[in-house]
Amino acid sequence: MKIHGVTELETLKADILISGVDKNSLNSTGRKELDRRFDGRLAGWLGKAIKTEQKELTQLPALSGGIPSVLFIGLGDRADLEEDTLREAFGLAGKKLRKEGAATVAVDIDSFTAAGISAEDAAYLTAEGLVLGSYEYPGMKTDQRESAPFLDELLLFTAEDSEDATAAAEIGRAFGYSVNEARTLVNMPANVLTAVRMAEYAEELAQEYGFETEILGKAQMEELGMGAILAVNQGSSEEPRLIVLKYKATEDFSDPLALVGKGVTFDTGGYSLKPKDGIVGMKGDMGGAAAVLGAMRIIGELRPNKNVMAVIGATDNMVSGNAFKPDDVITSLSGKTIEVLNTDAEGRLVLADAVTYAKRLGATRLIDVATLTGGVIVALGMDKTGVLTNDEEFFETFLNASKESGEFVWRLPLTENDKKRLRKSDVADLNNSPGRDGHMIFGGGFVGEFVGETPWIHLDIAGTSNAPAAYDFGPKGGTGVMVRTLAMLVEQLESK
């Protein structure tokens, strides 16, 4: 998508123009302002039923000159307008314009500014929201029609030329497309997106952005002693992969942040088999890996002054004569032994070896992302990401990033009593499933046992990684949740 700034209405040529209207836009003063901005070309519209409530859309023909129609977005009371609302409104506009195949879209940026929302912020939200809202998963149907071209060009119409607004829109574009890439990974069938194919995708990403790569196969994992991820992989005919990407902002790669993703490409539950209704959709159990890869794409685009590594444990969890079983005792990469009480508590085993390896590579901060437990859905619902942490300062920085991205998170406690229950076993150092009560806390807390004193945040996205129905930003399916927050966290750490 090409992005350009335009200051003269006469030179503006697009399939559609998007403009904002608030509750005062249609009173006498508001009409005069609209007339002035559009050189009197709105006179035929102002008697129409233009909706001004927040996120309401009204499309009307036709602006004389190079614009066939205008899409009005209702802003409600401009004093109450928030960035999240504006992003959602552009998401809805993106869905509508995708159906119409609008290839060149112009946006009246000045009409979306408000207290606290500058032209640069509006431009960023415009690009991000339109790209997010326009997402479609192409699928694999034999009669699939080719999608109409959409958003080949975005024109930012402003009274004064603003390079800052154009630059902000470019960042919004990068965020939106990276989220959409993560969504596609989550939506791909598990027989297509295997652990090997995920590693190939990561290598393609690395080649595009100049990341250093390290891909460990099964034999290398066995040599290193990655007994936790290998146990999960035991029942599979597909090889596992441990994927490492490094974005080097400095030659010495000092003080790197590690983004660690759970990449379970399909989860049967193993011998603790999931029920027939619960097993459908388990192709998305690699949502944490998708979030990390999406964030790395943004990092590659924006080139922050902060060293970052991605570490992803990729495998499926299958049932066979070789599969690991309840009552097995396995030895992790860290040397800690684990009593397996539930083979469906496999993601924490994958993450145990992944965070241990990230620490060996020098990570000074860790954040792991995983579709880890149904317990987070029971506790928080489908629209909230659960968080655990061992470091207050790191968490506050992360919380600021999540507020900036508009991705809601909620912290749960991890107490010493919780840790004692994780360490309760007659035969091993840890058990992988102390009980169903506090399930989200035990899942993340188990990963924390391998973190030590390293500042750490755990994100459980089991509820938020998949949308059960269409919503403002797109269709049902993968959401790409936490891609934007992880990238913004890197930006927050860069500024410190």
- Examine the domain organization and report whether 39 and 164 are in the same domain: yes
Average pLDDT over the chain reads: 94
In angstroms, the CA 421 to CA 424 distance is: 5
Can you list the positions of beta strands (E) in 371-482?
A: 385-389, 409-411, 430-431, 456-460, 466-467, 477-478
- The burial class, CB within 10 Å (0-12 / 13-18 / 19+), for 453 is exposed
**Lowest mean per-residue pLDDT among 101-110, 141-150, 260-269, 323-332:** 141-150
Out of 26-40, 189-203, 234-248, pick the least confident.
26-40
**Which DSSP category does 60 fall into?**
E
Q: Which of 183, 187, 97 is nearest to 148 (CA)?
A: 97
Residue 486 has pLDDT above 90, yes or no: yes
Average pLDDT over residues 376-393: 97
192 and 167 fall within a common domain: no
| Statement: residue 253 has pLDDT above 70 | yes
Domain boundary among 137, 172, 207: 172
Among residues 248, 274, 403, 419, which one is catalytic? Answer: 274
pLDDT band at 153 (very low <50, low <70, confident <90, very high): very high
User: pLDDT tens digit string along 452-484?
Assistant: 999 999 999 999 999 999 999 989 999 999 999
On the CB side of 14, how many CA atoms lie within 13 Å of its CA?
Answer: 30
Cβ-Cβ contacts under 8 Å for 251 (sequence gap 6 or more): none
**In this predicted structure, what is the pLDDT of residue 149?**
65
Name the domain boundary from 128, 145, 172.
Answer: 172
> Has residue 214 got a pLDDT over 70?
yes
C-alpha 319/C-alpha 420 separation (Å) is: 31
Q: Is 391 domain-assigned? A: yes
460 with 344, same domain: the answer is yes
Backbone φ and ψ for 331, nearest 5 degrees, come out as -110, 120
pLDDT of residue 160: 80
**Does a structural domain hold residue 179?**
no
For residue 87, what is the domain's CATH number? 3.40.220.10
Number of domains in the chain: 2
- 79 and 218 in a single domain? The answer is no
pLDDT digits 0-9 by tens, 30-87: 888 887 877 777 766 766 678 999 999 999 887 777 888 899 999 999 999 999 999 9
Indicate whether 158 and 87 sit together in one domain: yes
Tell me which residue of 320, 371, 312, 366 sits closest to 345, measured CA to CA. 371
Q: Is the pLDDT of residue 144 over 80?
A: no
Instruction: Specify if 183 maps to a domain.
Output: no
Q: Is 490 strand, coil or helix?
A: helix
| 193 and 164 co-located in one domain | no
Which residue reads 């192409």 in tokens? 138
Residue 145: active-site member: no
- Calpha distance 259→299 (Å, rounded): 12
Share of the chain above pLDDT 90, in %: 84
Domain boundary among 172, 203, 236: 172
Do residue 220 and residue 251 come from a single domain?
yes
Does 178 fall in a domain?
A: no
- Sheet-wide strand order for 385-389: 212-216, 241-247, 308-317, 257-267, 365-370, 456-460, 385-389, 409-411
348 a catalytic residue: yes
Tokens (6 digits) for 300: 């590659």
Claim to verify: residue 440 and residue 415 sit in the same structural domain: yes
State mean pLDDT over 251-261.
Answer: 97
Domain residues for 319? Answer: 188-494
Evaluate if residue 404 carries a pLDDT over 80: yes
| Residues 277 and 165 reside in one and the same domain | no
Q: Domain check: are 44 and 100 in the same one?
A: yes
pLDDT on residue 65: 74
| Whether residues 69 and 105 fall in one domain | yes
Residue 213, helix vs strand vs coil: strand
Residue whose token pair is 């032994």: 337
Considering the domain boundaries, does residue 177 fall inside one? no
- Residue 192 belongs to domain with CATH number: 3.40.630.10
Is residue 198 over pLDDT 70?
Answer: yes
Closest CA to 38 of 105, 126, 114, 106: 106
Which residue shows structure tokens 């991890």? 414
What is the band of 211 on the pLDDT scale with cuts at 50, 70, 90? very high
Report if residue 329 sits inside a domain. yes
Q: What is the pLDDT of residue 35?
A: 79
Structure tokens at 80: 């109450």
Q: Are residues 158 and 218 located together in one domain of the fold?
A: no
Catalytic one of 183, 283, 297, 348: 348
pLDDT of residue 148: 61
**Per-residue pLDDT tens over the stretch 92-120:** 999 999 999 999 999 999 999 988 899 99
User: In this predicted structure, what is the pLDDT of residue 357?
Assistant: 98
With a cut of 90, say whether residue 201 has pLDDT above it. yes
Write the pLDDT tens digit of every residue in 306-357. Answer: 999 999 999 999 999 999 999 999 999 999 999 999 999 999 999 999 999 9
